[in-house]
Copies of this chain bind each other. A is one copy, B any other.
Amino acid sequence: MRIAVMGAGAVGCYYGGMLSRAGHQVILIGRAQHVEAIHQHGLFMDTTRFRAHVPVRASTEVSDIRGASLILCCVKSNDTENAAAVMAPFVEPNAILLSLQNGVDNAGRLHAKLQHIVHPAVVYVAAEMMGPGHLKHHGRGELVVGPSAMSPEMLEGFVSAGVPVHVSDNVFGELWAKLILNCAYNAISAITKLPYGLLFENEDARDLMRLVVHECLAVAQRESITVPGDSWQEVERIAATMAGQFSSTAQDLMRGRRSEIDHLNGYIVRRGKSSAIDTPANQALYSLVKLLESAITADHPGPT
């Protein structure tokens, strides 16, 4: 498979690196600092199962996605439209596009700009970039996709590369299930600078997370979305399987970057408003993260 990964952050590097390590032709499209480091030493993958410098192609030029039969879109949800616009001229007509992003509407947003089918994939991986070309993997690494997202060969390619792929006939519900976990954990971890395990141990945090989950499920129900599984059990499971993890929102704020909160608790607030469901707990978390972001931006003015 010729695979292009748009966005060389933690998610892009993890999946791109795993596929490259298994012998697939992968190119990572990312920022100069990561690309240069990867050119020099390969991608350094420090995972729960191995530590290795993995050779992989990397480029700052989006035009290098040309010729890819599979494109994994791994940019932040804030950058979805921009990514679609710059990718558009170089996407092969029969390329398969997967969105490996947080939030529930990225595949649709990519489709609207690209006029190309985009399949959503639900990502469960705990990983972060420790420096240029240096990926730290804390746990998990599976994907959930719809029945039409991957051919049997492609599915086999992922699985043999160490990337479990679950096929679900309710991938939209699965995206919501992940969104609910993100809504429960991301903002609270960012605001308190605490990892998932410590949050879940705390009764006050659990009270708040319960409210958040309850509001999310009310919005989902109003929108006729069937959220698979028991969301609260999944919240519990995250505390056990990713105890040491700080949310991506926490990582963004610590690094002075804009977070995806508009696509997490902010999304619930907007959908709640449009369907007349009150979401005050989500609103509280959303407002606080936005406030913290604005304080960061005021401290460190930069190129938007």
Mark A residues whose CB is within 8 Å of B. 188, 191-194, 199, 202, 204-205, 207-208, 211, 215, 278, 280-281, 283-288, 290-292, 294-295
Contact = CB atoms under 8 A, between A and B. Distances in A.
A288 B288 contact: yes
A41 to B, nearest CB: 37
A169 B204 CA distance: 37
Contact of A284 (B194, B202, B211, B278): B211
Contacts of A280: 211, 215, 278, 280-281, 284
12 contacts: A192-B292, A193-B295, A199-B291, A204-B287, A204-B294, A208-B283, A211-B280, A280-B284, A281-B281, A281-B283, A281-B284, A288-B288
A291 B192 contact: yes
A295 B211 contact: no
Contacts of A288: 188, 191-192, 208, 288
How many copies of this kind of chain does the complex include?
2
Contacts of A290: 202, 204
Contacts of A207: 283, 287
A103 to B, nearest CB: 19
A219 B204 CA distance: 21
A229 B211 CA distance: 31
A285 B287 contact: no
Contact of A205 (B188, B208, B285, B287): B287
